[in-house]
Amino acid sequence: MKIAIVGAHGSGKSTIITSVYSELKKEGVRVALAPEVARSSLFLAAKEITPKMQMDLFGRQISCEMTNSRNCDLLLCDRSLFDILMYTRIFFEDNIEAISYTQSMSAFCVHYKETYDHIFITSKLYCPETIEDEIRPKNRGLQEKASSEIKNLLDEFEVNYTNLGENPVHEVVLILKKLMK
């Protein structure tokens, strides 16, 4: 089984997913974590925000998910291909090179979406100026746009998802326990 937590940058995805991972691990579930690939991106570290960087993230996300799913019963993904497609569309909506990339990514997502058993969307946005992460944009407007666009994208691809509320870790664990039965 594979799930993903998606949403805007600075919305608590990594915090939620690591808490869910810890809780399920304590309960004896054979669980693995696919970390957010952007955190280790050499493109982002060099501040080379380009369509090619997005394609690199897309490919590395697939590889990360496949590699980490090998020896577990449940894979928790910190982000999904949809996040990368969403940011590619936002950052490069008028870029000719990026348009061909987004078309390719979209065509792949049509089929790859079936590999996710469930997707959860974060609902809170934390102040981007306080995020202690050098790769995240510190722009509240961009954060709000990403939060809205990820939902639009999942609707466009007809992906079922759960909006997380006030107690996201508890909500995710409850749904996962039902799905794993």
Q: List, in order of start, the domains of the chain with CATH numbers.
A: 2-180 (3.40.50.300)
pTM: 0.91
HSE, CB side, 13 Å, CA atoms: give it for residue 118. Answer: 18
Q: What integer pLDDT is reported at residue 163 of this predicted model?
A: 96
DSSP structural state of residue 8: S
Q: Given a cut of 70, is residue 160 above it in pLDDT?
A: yes
Residue 94 has what pLDDT? 87
* Cβ–Cβ < 8 Å for 128, 136: yes
Q: Which tens digit of pLDDT belongs to each residue from 67-101?
A: 999 999 999 999 999 999 999 999 998 888 899 99
At residue 39, the pLDDT reads 87
Q: Are 76 and 21 spatial neighbours (Cβ–Cβ below 8 Å)?
A: yes
- Tokens linked to 40: 């280790």
